Amino acid sequence: MTVRKRLLGWLADAALILYFLFALFPIAWMVILSLKPTNQLFSTYFSFSPTLDGYRTVLGDSEGIPFVRFFVNSLVVSVGAVVLSLLVGLPAAYASARWRFKGSENLMFTLLSFRFAPELTVIIPLFVLYQKLGLFDTYVGMVWVLQLVTLPLIVWIMRSYFADLTPELEQAALLDGYTRKQAFLRVALPLVKPGVAAVSLLAFIFAWNNFVFPLILTSNEAQTVTVGALSFLGGDRPKYNLTAAAALVSVVPPLLLALTIQRYLVRGLSFGAVKS
């Protein structure tokens, strides 16, 4: 019995290690690539003289590519998109969890459909619209279009959080003389804080990783890292080491965020399945 158990444990460990090797190999490859000097890019796999020149070039805005600006752009539009989605989405999630009104389910489904409809289906009309409205290559335009990504996520996940709260807490507050708004802000909202933290992070990552929207709807001023990192591939010789460095730098913010709010993340991403 115990022997079998231990054997199973080893097997599980081995499987996990294999999986990690598989999952982490591309990242290791990127790290190696980013440390290679340009002249050794194609000549060797593992034996090369490592250098941080790639990172210096990327962060130093040389090669005529304003990578730092792309990075800042990504931060601005991702944070902007999440903040706007929270402002609009939290009340929406609360309302849809608490009240059935005419068309409420259709509205929620429409919102969800933004998530499963491929972005490519709307990108061409959006491109035309953005050109006409002057939203092309602007922060406002990017924050706006990213609502397609962040808003459904926030509304749907937060809806289940609010639905899990017993309405009696808010009703007790109403009886105490609080208004509906106060009951929402002072009773319901503080209780779903872990959920808000988790869903904000998720939404931020989705917004940060989005590629198609900035690819088509920005050109320079509002371009984000996902598209910007590829700029190093252009020109007469693709500079893989610079692309790798840029990509690794662009992973830092979501990673840092995830680490700082890890505590909330586990609790929050169980989606209300584990009740306190």
Partner 1 sequence: MTELELRELRKTFSARGRPAVDAVRGIDLILRSGELLGLLGPSGCGKSTTLRMIAGLEKVTGGDILVGGSSVTARPAQQRNIGVAFENYALYPPLTVAENLAFGLKARSRADRGDVDRKVREIAARVDLTTLLDARPAGLSSGQKQRVSLARALIREPDVLLLDEPLSHLDAAQRDTTRRELKRIQRDLGHTTILVTHDQEEALSLADRIAVMKDGVIQQLGTPYEIYDSPANVFVADFVGEPAINLLPGTTEADAHARLSPAARVALPLPVPEGRDVVVGIRPEDLTLTGEDGLPARVVAHEPLLESGIATLTLDGVEKPLVVLTDPEVRLAHDDRVHVTADPHLTHVFDAETGDSLR
Q: Under the rule (CB under 8 A), what is the footprint of partner 1? A: 100, 102, 166, 168-169, 171-179, 182, 187, 190-191, 276
DSSP letter for 103, please: T
CA distances from 19 to 22, 160, 260 (A): 5, 32, 25
How far apart are CB 176 and partner 1 at their closest, in Å?
4
Contact 138, 73 (CB under 8 A): no
How far apart are CB 247 and partner 1 at their closest, in Å?
41
How far apart are CB 189 and partner 1 at their closest, in Å?
12
Q: Note the helical H segments in the chain.
A: 2-35, 53-59, 67-98, 104-116, 120-133, 139-145, 147-164, 167-175, 180-182, 189-191, 193-209, 212-217, 225-228, 240-260, 262-269
How far apart are CB 77 and partner 1 at their closest, in Å?
34
* C-beta of 172 vs 255, nearer to partner 1: 172
* C-beta of 80 vs 194, nearer to partner 1: 194
Task: Name residue 181's amino acid.
Answer: K
How far apart are CB 14 and partner 1 at their closest, in Å?
41
Q: Is the dihedral of CA 71, 77, 82, 83 positive or negative?
A: positive
* C-beta of 44 vs 104, nearer to partner 1: 104
* C-beta of 133 vs 172, nearer to partner 1: 172
* C-beta of 183 vs 207, nearer to partner 1: 183
Torsion, CA 17, CA 18, CA 22, CA 25, rounded to 10: 50
